Amino acid sequence: MYKLKYRRQARNYLARLPLKTKTVIVNKLNEIAIDPEDPSHDIDVLKGREGFRLRVGQYRILYIRQDDQLVIEVVKVRSRGDIYKR
């Protein structure tokens, strides 16, 4: 099982979301931490940057998986239209 770490930006955005939405996202991340290779998760490898993209409803979660340390670092959580803006 992987350990979840959240960057400040991701943690702050999650804190502002409605409780129901936040719960769905956190539960999905917990599922990823248990089995990041499960094909039922809607995950894509990012192009042009390091990491992965997880789709949860209208939200996108960008994360980096560090297999050597068994850590998943949640980099960014945003709505679909805002996630890829730098």
18: pLDDT confidence band, cut at 50, 70 and 90?
A: very high
Q: Which pTM does this prediction carry?
A: 0.88
Q: 3-84 adopts what CATH topology? A: YaeB-like fold (3.30.2310)
pLDDT tens, position by position, 20-65: 999 999 999 999 999 998 888 889 999 988 999 999 999 999 999 9
Mean pLDDT of 61-70: 94
Four-residue CA torsion sign, 26, 79, 44, 62: negative
Asked whether the predicted pLDDT for residue 66 surpasses 90, the reply is: yes
